[in-house]
Structure 1
Amino acid sequence: MEFCDECGSMMKTEDDTWVCGSCGYEKSRNAEAEREMAVTTEGQEESEIVDTSEVDAADMGPTTGARCPECGNDRAFYEMKQIRAADESETRFFTCTECEHKWREDDH
């Protein structure tokens, strides 16, 4: 990703040139520098499933007003985890305070 030296907007590539869509500023691409700034997922670990079936309700943590899709209860324990790339939002995991149904909600 490259940002415009003139206005700070994000630039796009057109062949061997970076072009600013806001002000039209252009600059040449540098393949070696771009290779160094590339982001990969190599070496990242998969998230593991956490079993909370034997955890007491008092140890589950905070609750929020979320409606359970199974029983309709309006309270759930919640936990936020970063399971995707760091530049994406966290995922909210819920556990119903009544039936202990588990679900997750992603911010998109």
Structure 2
Amino acid sequence: MMRAGEESDVWECTSCGYVEGRDAVEDAEMTTTQGQQKSEIVDVSDAEDQGLPTTSARCPECGNDRAHWYMQQIRSADESETRFFICTECEHKWREDDH
């Protein structure tokens, strides 16, 4: 994994220390770990106000039988999405993975 400081004009390998010059054109086309982290954030606060759908699902915390739900890709692209639930009563959050 190569990294660079904000003011740095080189890429440096975090394992072996190899150094390579940076190219502004190539850098603009690159996907960074910071960009990936930002795209994976899902705000589920006030789920009902966000328009999330509801379904029949038993909350493991309070036993309520209704929950808001959404799906998100959190693993590699060749694996199915993960379903997330938010209890309509106690707002407990849990997930359901396909195996």
Instruction: Please give the range of the TM-score, normalised by the shorter of the 2 chains.
Output: 0.5 to 0.7
Identity of aligned residues (%): 70
Long gaps (5+) in structure 2: 1-30
In 2, Cα distance between equivalents of 1:60 and 1:102: 16
Count of residue correspondences: 66
**Amino acid in the other structure paired with 2:71:** M
In the TM superposition, 1:12-91 aligns within 5 A as: 45-46=36-37, 48-53=40-45, 55=46, 57-91=48-82
Long gaps (5+) in structure 1: 1-41
In 1, Cα distance between equivalents of 2:94 and 2:82: 11
**RMSD of aligned Cα (Å):** 2.3
**Amino acid in the other structure paired with 2:56:** G
Determine if the alignment matches structure 1 residue 96 to structure 2 residue 87: yes
Contact map agreement 1:78 1:93 (CA 8 A) in 2? yes
1:58-81 per-residue CA deviation (whole Å, 9 max, x = no partner) reads 424101111000000011000001
Pick the structure with greater CA Rg. 1
Runs of 4+ with >4 A deviation: 46-49
TM-score, L = length of structure 1: 0.52
**Amino acid in the other structure paired with 1:103:** W
In 1, Cα distance between equivalents of 2:69 and 2:47: 14
TM-score, L = length of structure 2: 0.56
SS in 2 for 1:80: strand
